[in-house]
Amino acid sequence: MSFYDDEKDSAGAHAKDYYGIRIGSFCDEARGIQGDVWLVNKTALQITNWKLRSGDGRQVRNFYFSTEETIARAERLFKVISTPSGDYSKPIAMDLEDASDSETIVVLIPGGYNKWKFFGVIENGEKVSDSWL
């Protein structure tokens, strides 16, 4: 498995996007949650190919970090936006309500990655079983 996406620019040169160290993938078809999770550095994760099916309005979904004893919501979320002049990160709402299709999301880790053992999605206050790494 490669950690890079290989793309050619208009001149035919190859460029490789580095996402970080791959942690795993979300794949919960029942809830419409999918994405590849990467550790970017000690304070951020990046989720590529993020897909989220819109709920019926009653689901409140959030990213959380946990150990066996403690749980904490992600510090902040950003959506990576690609433009002709380059990529930028746009702050987004903490509640994952809007449908997403193949987006890249940056998740800030509360207190740094070495504090936590697990990362996942909580829906309406309950762990989503197939959405924890």
Q: Quick one: pLDDT at residue 128?
A: 60
Write 123-130 long-range contacts (CB < 8 A, 24+).
Answer: 123/31, 123/59, 123/60, 123/61, 124/58, 124/59, 124/60, 125/60, 128/28, 128/31, 128/33, 128/61, 129/28, 130/26, 130/27, 130/28, 130/30, 130/31, 130/33
Q: Which two tokens stand for residue 117?
A: 């053992």
Whether 62 and 96 have beta carbons less than 8 Å apart is answered as yes
pLDDT by residue for the chain (133 residues), tens only, comes to 334 455 544 545 445 677 888 999 988 887 788 899 999 999 999 999 988 877 656 667 888 999 888 889 999 999 999 889 888 889 988 887 777 778 899 999 999 989 999 998 887 766 665 566 6
Cα–Cα dist 128/121, whole Å: 6
Q: Quick one: pLDDT at residue 2?
A: 39
35-45 confidence digits (pLDDT tens): 999 999 999 99
62-81 confidence digits (pLDDT tens): 889 998 888 899 999 999 99
Helix, strand or coil for residue 113? helix
pTM score, two decimals? Answer: 0.78
Please give the domain boundaries of the chain with CATH numbers for all domains. Answer: 19-132 (2.60.40)
